[in-house]
Chain A
Amino acid sequence: QSVLTQPPSVSGAPGQRVTISCTGSSSNIGAGYDVHWYQQLPGTGPKLLIYANTNRPSGVPDRFSGSKSGTSASLAITGLQAEDEADYYCQSFDSSLSGYWVFGGGTKLTVL
């Protein structure tokens, strides 16, 4: 069971907007630690998508955006494209004894 909670799957048609939630607790997201998002295409390693809640690395389209509020964060993808079909993971830091770097369980995005 992952420390951060994500929906197992989301789906949307090309051109639509989807959001993926990431829910934590008072020892991680709620403690003020930033949330980061990774995209993992089939058969490849993860790729940084959003860092520090809202920031996109160079090369990431502005169709991807992130937000954070309280003990939760969200990743939004607008103008869905077929190549967005992938697994998405949120990640933060946890100050509890067994914490440190924590991930969500991952969300499979299907483009219909």
Chain B
Amino acid sequence: EVQLVESGGGLVQPGGSLRLSCAASGFTFSGYEMIWVRQAPGKGLEWVSWLSGSGSTIYYADSVKGRFTISRDNAKNSLYLQMNSLRAEDTAVYYCARVLVERYFDSWGQGTLVTVSS
């Protein structure tokens, strides 16, 4: 069974940093593209960052470009999101999801809440 478990969320002050992790199990992690998607309180879904199975190709949404860094450790079956220079508008539940080649997300984690506030 595919399982994705996010961790690392919490309360952080504006301008601060946080590193999210996503532990994957139940599938060959290195064979899949992965993505971070976030959902602000009471709002819809927004993709944040995507990377290829090897980690060699990366995309960022304009809203986080230059501040967030996505990475993966295929030996540890883990996906990461390093978030720097956090802003109030980054407050959201962050989900990691597995991406299929047809560009949809077939498995999602339960999410981790990031709150940026002073």
Contact = CB atoms under 8 A, between A and B. Distances in A.
B110 A89 contact: no
A110 to B, nearest CB: 16
Interface string B33-74: 001010000001111001000000001011000000000000
A64 interface: no
Contacts of B35: 101
Contacts of A100: 47, 50, 59, 61
A51 B110 contact: no
Given A45-B111, A105-B44, A98 B106 contact: no
Contacts of A103: 44-47
- Provide the main secondary structure of the chain A interface: strand
Interface residues of A, number: 25
A107 to B, nearest CB: 10
A17 interface: no
B103 A33 contact: yes
A47 B62 contact: no
Nearest to A87: B44
B27 interface: no
A51 B109 CA distance: 18
A100 B50 CA distance: 10
14 contacts: A2-B44, A45-B110, A47-B108, A48-B106, A51-B104, A51-B106, A57-B106, A89-B44, A92-B103, A98-B62, A100-B50, A100-B59, A104-B44, A105-B44
Interface of B: 35, 37, 44-47, 50, 59, 61-62, 95, 97, 100, 102-111
Q: State the 8 A-B residue pairs at the shortest beta-carbon distance, nearest first.
A: A36-B104, A101-B47, A45-B108, A103-B45, A106-B44, A93-B103, A105-B44, A51-B104
Interface of A: 2, 33-34, 36, 38, 44-48, 51-52, 57, 89, 91-93, 98, 100-106
